[in-house]
Amino acid sequence: MALKFRNLFVSLTGLFCSLYACSGNSIRNDSNLPNSTTYQKITAETAYQMMQKSDGFVLLDVRSNEEFQEKHINGAILIPVSELEKRAEPELADKDAVILVYCRSGVRSANASKILVKKGYTQVFDFGGINSWPYETVRGK
């Protein structure tokens, strides 16, 4: 009986952890960042809704120039993640601005979000990759 209860407990704990991790709206807390600073992971749908409700945001594409030319979200500015350390502060002067970050699949946007938070940006939202963006995109600049 105790073994069945233990197995059930382990299964339920794993299920709850998986559901929380896949929720798409979790706050990411990176212990490698000073003062446990955070950025928020949101869905493409949430990012789109935020963009429709306000123009007070920066839409940041952190892919390469070639990827950006192929397709990007209208209104996005390009700062490749490899250049973000040196270009963020001169080009993104308002550290309290809402910054919506995306890349191709979500890996670079997460890295870029961590860099921005480390530099003191306070409203960073990572919505993953353009591959998951179901809305309109444009080509070229």
Instruction: Confirm if 61 and 12 have CB atoms less than 8 A apart.
Output: no
CA distance 96 to 122: 5
Please count the residues of the chain: 141
Residue 41, beta-bridge partner list: 126
Q: Give residue for tokens 């990572």.
A: 126
Q: Give the strand pairing for 98-103 and 77-78.
A: unpaired
Identified catalytic residue from 51, 100, 103, 130: 103
**103 is annotated as an active-site residue:** yes
Q: Give residue for tokens 């530099």.
A: 119
Structure tokens at 75: 């209104």
Structure tokens at 90: 């001169």
Cite the active site residues.
Answer: 103
